Structure 1
Amino acid sequence: MKLSVVTSAAIVVAGLWATTVAQADTLKKIADTGKITLAYRESSVPFSYLAGPGVPVGFSVDISNAVADAVKKRLNNPAIKVDLQAVTSQNRIPLLTNGTIDLECGSTTNNTARAKDVQFAINHFYTGTRLLTKKTSGVKNYADLARKKVASTSGTTNAQVIRKYSRDNNLDLDIVLGKDHDDAVLLVDSGRAEAFAMDDILLFGLMGNQRNPGDWEVVGDSLQVEPYACMLRKDDPQFQALVNGVIGGMMKSGEFDKLYSKWFMSPVPPRNQNLNLPMGRELRENLVAQSDKPAL
């Protein structure tokens, strides 16, 4: 009887292991279904955002499309369909792990907590938490927000960073969360929050998309430099090698530099704003190192 129970348990465990392996074999999944599903964000300018109804564009979108092209070549099937799926800060990891999406390249921080659930590709950007506010607010740094409402986006590392900073510095900030970045900016625009704490690069992009960009400014010290990277499912070495091969190849060939200039040093849709943001030291060094080292 005991042997039977043990044997049954072993069969169940083996079945679960086989299922996990199958789920993690993204290339096989794509080959079997004839499609790859790429995630996109709706307001992560200039990484992944909507320039029009159902039209995602951006730096990370171009990387995703390059991966999709490489998958078609690897599987020798140019007819593979590319599906697009909008994701938010809250649902991007669950939708990846449950197989709804196959790749998420947006504005996602590569950190050790998330690495328990997903695998990250080579880091493709570095940023830090700062504040977006109206110029009339008088806010210049975090101390100016003591006991006031500060917006951030639900499901982001920035919300955690600003909460910790508030506790460590006894600021007693009242953190209010928007469901996405546009929603968080609206909290500030409507007077329901004094500032929006988010990755500085996203704040500059969001500011440029406002009706009157000159009314806004990005202020405050940069808290915790964090790397962005594309996410894929864990324990999937073949797909990981393909994604890293695409990104690393772009970094080595100079294509990554061209892509960076396109989205950070040139006018971008829909308002033709130019962030005019030269490549930072951390990213320039990673073009050579090609590291996927996470933030803590």
Structure 2
Amino acid sequence: MTASTIHRPAAAARSRLAAAGAIAVAGALLLSACGDQTKKSGGKEPGSAASAAPLFDKLPQAVKDAKVIKVGSDIAYPPVEFRKEGKVIGLDPDLADAMGKQLGVRFEFNNSTFDSLLAGLRSKRYDVAMSAMTDNKDRQNGVDPSTNKKVGEGVDFVDYFQAGVSIYTVKGKSEGIKGWPDLCGKKVVVQRGTVSDDLTKKQSEKCGDNKISIEAFEDDIQAQTRLRGGGADAGASDFPVAAYAVKTSGGGNDFELVGDQVQAAPYGIALPKEQTQLRDALKEALDAIIKNGEYQKILNKWGVADGALKEARVNGGS
């Protein structure tokens, strides 16, 4: 779920990390598509202690009253967010828990498909979307990258991580694929609506008559399953996700990374443009956990320390 500009190295413009550390967490369960499976991110209910949190007074009154921030997320994207033994875990839930302690509220993760998250924000189904979503100008401005037409009001982002997009293949079957130009004439699996999807389409346009055959799925786990079963030549995904699949799928025997990451860009927490007070409170909370060291501990835990930011940013994507 990233942004585009080939060059990069990181994992989906949502995708860029130069190195993925070992992540010792077992596989992810595929979730059903709509927000009917609401889960807490693992934090404790703040209750009466909420007002004692250092940044509680920074929140909008409606959030103070609810003591909950409703999060739209595609909870099938390990190691960023996924489910294990019925619990939502990963990089995003851990960061949300840490920010929640600063704000005195609980972040409640609700499952949905990635390509429906911004619509969920517009309909006020969620307060924010946090799902390895790449911050880029198209999303800020509400523009569909495939048509360059405005389709919505756009969103603001609080940037919390850096990543790029990577290509991966079945282990030992790279078929001469060493970079994006080598995908011409190949079949590639992606997650629908992500920067990986956008990048693959743009590469196909450069292939002349030898177009890329693109198969897009609701989530990345389905794409991995298709590739593992021999239904495609390669997959494209955010680097942290591709690296995690290479590390864990089949005990590390299913996939391999090929080529360099491209299109490095920030992941951002998305929220409606009118929610400036909530946006600024989230930024302060993120800066607080960066400063107190909790942020780095969480990135180290998930093996993605190379994607760290030194400070929170608003709309830092290009």
Q: TM-score range by the shorter chain?
A: 0.7 to 0.9
What secondary structure does 1:110 align onto?
coil
Residues of 1 paired with 2:232 and 2:212: CA distance? 11
Alignment of 1:188-267 (within 5 A): 188-264=227-303
1:262 CA displacement: 1.5
Residue 295 of structure 2 is aligned to residue 295 of structure 1: no
1:124 CA displacement: 2.0
CA contact (8 A) 1:42 1:56 kept: yes
| RMSD (Å), alpha carbons | 2.3
1:103 CA displacement: 2.3
Segments of 5+ residues of structure 2 without an aligned counterpart are 1-58, 142-153
Amino acid at match of 2:96: S
Q: Between Structure 1 and Structure 2, how many residues are aligned? A: 246
| Counterpart for residue 106 of structure 1 | 131
CA contact (8 A) 1:27 1:71 kept: no
Amino acid at match of 1:44: Y
What secondary structure does 2:246 align onto?
helix
1:166 CA displacement: 2.2
CA contact (8 A) 1:119 1:233 kept: yes
Alignment of 1:26-175 (within 5 A): 27-31=60-64, 33=66, 35-53=68-86, 55-72=87-104, 83-116=108-141, 117-121=154-158, 123-139=159-175, 140-141=177-178, 142-170=180-208, 171-175=210-214
Greater gyration radius: 1
CA contact (8 A) 2:73 2:117 kept: no
Aligned identity (percent) is: 22
Amino acid at match of 2:80: F
What secondary structure does 1:47 align onto?
coil
Closer/same/farther in 2, CA of residues 278 and 63 from structure 1, 3 Å limit: closer
Amino acid at match of 2:291: K
Question: Among 288, 306, 315, which residue is 1:279 paired with?
Answer: 306
Closer/same/farther in 2, CA of residues 82 and 135 from structure 1, 3 Å limit: closer
Residues of 2 paired with 1:70 and 1:87: CA distance? 26
Residues of 2 paired with 1:31 and 1:164: CA distance? 44
Q: TM-score, normalised by structure 1?
A: 0.75
Q: TM-score, normalised by structure 2?
A: 0.70
Q: Greater helix percent: which structure?
A: 1
What secondary structure does 1:230 align onto?
strand
